Every structure is written in C-alpha cells, then in structure tokens.
Amino acid sequence: MIKFVFLALLPFVLLLALTQEAKSQLPNGFVYVKDIIPHVEVDLRYCGHHNFIGKPIQGYLEPKTILTKKAAEALAKVEKELNKNNMGLKIFDAYRPQTAVNHFVHWAKDSKDTLGKQEFYPTEDKRFLFKKGYIASKSGHSRGSTVDLTIINIDSKQELDMGSGFDFLGEISAHAYTKINADQQKNRRLLKSTMEKHGFKAYSKEWWHYTLKDEPFKDKYFDFPVQ
C-alpha cells in the first residue's frame, strides 16, 4: 500500500521539484547576493509599498537580491572591510528587471498618481522627474551590476545618517550637495570611498547608487523577474 501511494505521488513530487528549480534558476553570470554575502542586511523596497510609487513594483515577485557574480563578489569585499569597524551594508535594490523600469515610466506619466510624494519627492514637480534624470526608460540596474545601498551599525542595525533617505528625489540626495551636517557628509564619503576602493563608481545624483566599473554586461538589459 505504501509503495502504491509513493508511486502515485512521485509525478507530483518531481513536478514540484522541477518547478522550484526553474524558479530559482538565474541567467549565467548572476547570483543571489545572500549566497555570496550571507549576513548582509536587505530591505528590498520595490517588493513592498515603502517606495516613491507607494506600491509593489511589477517584476518583483519575491524579496530576493540578485546581482552579477562579479558585482556580488566585489560587494563582499566592501562588506568585509566595513565589518572590521562594526559596520555593514544594507541593500535597498540590486538587479531590476526592465518590466519594473517600464512600471516607473508608466507611473511618471500619470501626474495624478502622487501617493509617495510627501515622503519621497515633496519639493519636486512630478512632471519634470524625467527631465531631471530621476526617471529614465533604461536603468543600469537592469544590467545586473548596479546596487542601491547604505551603511548600518552591525549591532543596532541602524542606518548611518546620510542626510536624506533612500530614493529621496531632490537635490539633497546628490553627492555634490553641501547643505548637510558634517557627520552626514562624513558618512557619505565613507560609503563612496569604500565602494570606489573595491571597483564601484558613484552616480552623482544619488548617494546610494553604485555601479561596478568593470561590469560584465555593459550593453545588455535583462528582464527576468526577481524571484
């Protein structure tokens, strides 16, 4: 009887296993960041409601952080260096499918949808977010070697004060902005210098945004889902 039940269930077990394998399969050259940096903190904002749109973003099916293997290995060196001083990284976004970028574009064209304005772009007119470079039809994130992140205290998990929050759309988020206090400037410099030391380059308008200089897919934009 037991043997009969096992044989009857076997096709379903195999199908489930194949489905799970297909779900977790990434394109060649990509990895889950947690497989490279097991203890890194993650707050994948676009998988939930706490972002400038105020809703989960299309293409983010599960809170999984994905990067190219090359970028993840470089990021592991950043984490290791920060750990020496009881600090670590917190990742807000990594690989971003083109589907998500398209969602941003569609949202930006709807001037009436301002759900996240108070927290994320209180001083900006949504109609000009494209012109100012906050929204674009293509994103380096879709190439798999760009990451949005900050520094935290390992014990408290508290983020270092960077003068503005992640994804705040405004002048205060730019590296060149000087009207923040000395500690905030120091924290931004620490993140920037450590990331640059290990092969990343900063984006001038966003203190949290870094791209691996020697990225493996410089001209290729991916659209597989985050799962």
Interatomic CA distance for residues 218 and 143, integer angstroms: 7
39 carries a ligand binding annotation: no
C-beta pairs of 10-18 under 8 Å, 24+ apart in sequence: none
Interatomic CA distance for residues 97 and 166, integer angstroms: 19
CA angle 147, 88, 47 (to 5 degrees): 45
103 carries a ligand binding annotation: no
Catalytic residue among 41, 73, 119, 206: 206
CA angle 106, 131, 206 (to 5 degrees): 90
**Amino acid letter, 183:** D
Element (H, E) at 89: strand 87-93
What DSSP state is assigned to residue 199? T
Note if 215 is an active site residue.
Answer: no
β-sheet bridge partners, residue 200: 212
209 carries a ligand binding annotation: yes
Annotated binding site for Zn(2+): 141, 148, 209
Q: Which residues are catalytic?
A: 206
